[in-house]
């Protein structure tokens, strides 16, 4: 990367909580008069590189840049881009971000693709959704909507319903809700629960505790799953007050976030009897003050006759996306400054090139797809984890390294052996198993 000072939005973690709240206030300023800012980014060009279909995200970004006075170039159909000829994402962003545009918005089907784009582009990159990984700019819009509707984020009771496994929007939203102290009630369609790696990150980074939940009767969505869970960042001793009971009783809901079945990422799983929110759902006492949210597009998981209910805010979510994205782009382009402190990343060390060692287990990760041609497996070592836990630098999927090899002697040891602890960090090569180490040409310690 030529410019080390540039800021990207690859993950919701790329912004601190204080920065997010400050951006909300800038979004309010933009929203007060959307047509008053046409000189702010005059001369700047945004490129939308969308290798997956999109309507709202792409058009919202393009509208936002035009309202800021900038220009837009777009690659909105993968079939009409050089990717159809075999060009890598790295080469595409080098070219488009090398003189064609001043900021890139990238949507890609492979997990971790946004990190690759940020790594190779000289200009700021915004993640418009990368596989089933994250969708942080959508999370900003969702948080902004919830903040506008409820006046706060801390302490809210937010129900997440439907496909929680493949929805990248849900994953980013969970991390952000936990950071702001909201409580999460998961009501997945059976088989589409939050992935383990998302739950692990919530526990590790935000101290989230999980317990079984009993949700008040919500016809159409309650009863669609017997795996409802309550996720809270309360201190463990506080949660212990609840876990003496069979379930945590949830009788008040601030928001219901519905998601469609992400069929483009499913491999034939049935979605018969998928949850469906109707007027009957909103008649429930627990939903009296709830806001109904949805990332859109809607398929059939929310009845159309719910649209005119004042608690349904999913179209307002889309509308608020314009001023929120205006604030984000103006910030990344250096046109507005934030006083809030940047996020700290103290829990992660430098990257570790795996070489002949580890390989990301996520088959959807870009390192196992187009990145095979030009990306070395790269991992971040989590501090104070035993055995060592490493996360893929691109998709963040984590693995345990139970064996550590010496890159020069080609001898490997168990992670907790005294010899392993004496290996200097620059000489360590990590493996999940003995078989993996031996396949890479390493030999077990003779002792």
Residue by residue, DSSP assigns 274-333 as ---B-HHHHTSGGGTTPEEE--S---SSB-GGGTTSTTB-HHHHHHHHHHHHHHHHHHHT
Look at residue 222 and tell me whether its pLDDT is greater than 70: no
Q: What is the mean pLDDT of residues 184-190?
A: 91
Look at residue 285 and tell me whether its pLDDT is greater than 70: yes
In the structure, what pLDDT confidence band is assigned to residue 331 with cuts at 50, 70 and 90?
very high
Q: What is the pLDDT of residue 384?
A: 60
Read off the pLDDT of residues 90-101 as tens digits, 9 standing for 90 and up: 999 999 998 899
Q: What is the pLDDT of residue 55?
A: 83
Q: What is the mean pLDDT of residues 283-304?
A: 93
CB 54 within 8 A of CB 107: yes
In the structure, what pLDDT confidence band is assigned to residue 1 with cuts at 50, 70 and 90?
very low
Determine phi and psi for 326, rounding to 5 degrees: -60, -45
Look at residue 221 and tell me whether its pLDDT is greater than 70: yes
Q: Report which listed range, 71-85, 200-214, 325-339, 410-424, is most confident.
A: 325-339
Q: What is the pLDDT of residue 261?
A: 84
Mean pLDDT of the chain: 88
In the structure, what pLDDT confidence band is assigned to residue 132 with cuts at 50, 70 and 90?
confident
The end-to-end CA distance of the chain, in Å, is 45
85 burial class (0-12, 13-18, 19+ CB within 10 angstroms)?
Answer: exposed
Q: What is the pLDDT of residue 245?
A: 47
Q: How many CB atoms lie within 10 A of CB 113?
A: 30
Instruction: Break the chain down into helix, strand, coil percent, rounded to 5.
Output: 35, 20, 45
Strand residues in 290-440 grouped as ranges (E): 291-293, 348-353, 378-382, 389-392, 398-400, 403-406, 411-414, 428-431
Better-predicted residue by pLDDT, 437 or 54: 437
CB 219 within 8 A of CB 278: yes
Look at residue 383 and tell me whether its pLDDT is greater than 90: no
Q: How many CB atoms lie within 10 A of CB 110?
A: 25
In the structure, what pLDDT confidence band is assigned to residue 270 with cuts at 50, 70 and 90?
confident
Q: What is the pLDDT of residue 139?
A: 95
CA 217 to chain centre: 30
CB 136 within 8 A of CB 9: yes
Q: What is the pLDDT of residue 342?
A: 93
Look at residue 31 and tell me whether its pLDDT is greater than 50: yes
Helix 136-150 and helix 168-179: axis angle, to 10°? 50
Q: What is the pLDDT of residue 84?
A: 62
With a pLDDT cut of 90, the percent of the chain lying above it is 60
Q: What is the pLDDT of residue 272?
A: 79
Look at residue 4 and tell me whether its pLDDT is greater than 60: no
Helix 168-179 and helix 196-206: axis angle, to 10°? 20
In the structure, what pLDDT confidence band is assigned to residue 269 with cuts at 50, 70 and 90?
confident
Q: What is the mean pLDDT of residues 387-412?
A: 90
Alpha carbons 366 and 131: distance in angstroms, whole number: 9
Q: Which residues contact 229 (CB under 8 A, 6 or more apart)?
A: 185, 186, 210, 211, 212, 213
Edge-to-edge strand ranges of the sheet holding 45-50? 71-75, 45-50, 103-108, 125-130
User: Can you give the C-alpha Rg of the chain in angstroms?
Assistant: 23
In the structure, what pLDDT confidence band is assigned to residue 273 with cuts at 50, 70 and 90?
confident
Q: What is the pLDDT of residue 377?
A: 84
439 burial class (0-12, 13-18, 19+ CB within 10 angstroms)?
Answer: exposed
Q: What is the mean pLDDT of residues 303-307?
A: 95
Q: What is the mean pLDDT of residues 344-365?
A: 70
Look at residue 430 and tell me whether its pLDDT is greater than 60: yes
Q: What is the mean pLDDT of residues 172-201?
A: 91
Q: What is the mean pLDDT of residues 41-58?
A: 92
**What is the reported pTM?**
0.88
Q: Report which listed range, 42-51, 73-82, 200-209, is most confident.
A: 42-51
Q: Report which listed range, 1-5, 224-228, 383-387, 423-427, is most confident.
A: 423-427
Look at residue 375 and tell me whether its pLDDT is greater than 50: yes
Q: What is the pLDDT of residue 349?
A: 47
- Helix count and strand count (H, E) for the chain: 12, 19
CB 107 within 8 A of CB 52: yes
Look at residue 239 and tell me whether its pLDDT is greater than 80: no
Handedness of CA 26, 17, 176, 246 (dihedral sign): negative
Q: Report DSSP state, residue 244.
A: T
Q: What is the mean pLDDT of residues 301-313?
A: 95
Alpha carbons 382 and 434: distance in angstroms, whole number: 22
Q: What is the mean pLDDT of residues 307-336?
A: 97
Q: What is the pLDDT of residue 345?
A: 61
Q: What is the pLDDT of residue 315?
A: 96
Q: What is the mean pLDDT of residues 404-409?
A: 91
CB 302 within 8 A of CB 314: yes
Q: How many CB atoms lie within 10 A of CB 437?
A: 25
174 burial class (0-12, 13-18, 19+ CB within 10 angstroms)?
Answer: buried
Counted residue by residue, the chain has a size of 447
């Amino acid at each position: 990367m030529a410019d080390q000072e540039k800021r990207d939005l690859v993950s919701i973690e790329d912004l601190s909580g204080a920065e997010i709240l400050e951006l909300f206030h800038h979004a309010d300023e933009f929203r007060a008069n959307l047509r008053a800012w046409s000189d702010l980014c005059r001369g700047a060009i945004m490129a939308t590189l969308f290798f997956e279909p999109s309507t709202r995200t792409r058009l919202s970004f393009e509208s936002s840049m035009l309202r800021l006075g900038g220009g837009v170039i777009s690659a909105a159909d993968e079939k009409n881009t050089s990717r159809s000829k075999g060009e890598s994402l790295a080469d595409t962003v080098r070219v488009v971000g090398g003189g064609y545009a001043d900021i890139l918005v990238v949507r890609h089907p492979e997990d971790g693709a946004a990190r690759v784009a940020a790594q190779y582009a000289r200009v700021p990159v915004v993640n418009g959704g990368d596989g089933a990984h994250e969708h942080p700019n959508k999370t900003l819009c969702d948080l902004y909507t919830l903040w506008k509707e409820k006046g706060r984020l801390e302490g809210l009771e937010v129900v997440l319903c439907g496909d929680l496994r493949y929805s990248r929007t849900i994953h980013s939203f969970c991390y952000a809700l936990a950071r702001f102290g909201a409580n999460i009630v998961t009501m997945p369609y059976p088989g589409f629960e939050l992935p383990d790696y998302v739950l692990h990150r919530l526990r590790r980074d935000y101290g989230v505790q999980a317990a079984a939940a009993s949700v008040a009767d919500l016809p159409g969505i309650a009863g669609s799953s017997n795996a409802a869970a309550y996720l809270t960042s309360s201190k463990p001793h506080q949660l212990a007050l609840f876990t003496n009971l069979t379930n945590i009783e949830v009788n008040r809901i601030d928001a219901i976030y519905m998601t469609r079945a992400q069929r483009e990422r499913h491999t034939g799983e049935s979605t018969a009897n998928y949850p469906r929110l109707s007027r009957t759902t909103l008649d429930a006492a627990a939903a009296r003050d709830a806001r109904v949210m949805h990332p859109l597009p809607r398929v059939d998981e929310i009845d159309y006759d719910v649209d005119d209910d004042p608690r349904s805010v999913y179209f307002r979510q889309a509308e608020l996306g314009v001023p929120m994205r205006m604030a984000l782009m103006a910030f990344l382009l250096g046109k507005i400054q934030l006083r809030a402190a940047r996020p700290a990343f103290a829990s992660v060390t430098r990257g570790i090139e795996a070489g002949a060692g580890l390989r990301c287990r996520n088959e959807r990760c870009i390192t196992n797809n187009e990145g095979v041609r030009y990306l070395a497996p790269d991992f971040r070592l989590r501090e104070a984890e035993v055995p060592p836990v490493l996360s893929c630098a691109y998709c963040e999927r984590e693995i345990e390294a139970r064996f550590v090899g010496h890159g020069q002697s080609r001898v490997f040891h168990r992670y907790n052996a005294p010899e392993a602890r004496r290996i200097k960090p620059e000489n360590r090569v990590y493996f999940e198993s003995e078989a993996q180490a031996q396949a890479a040409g390493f030999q077990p310690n003779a002792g």
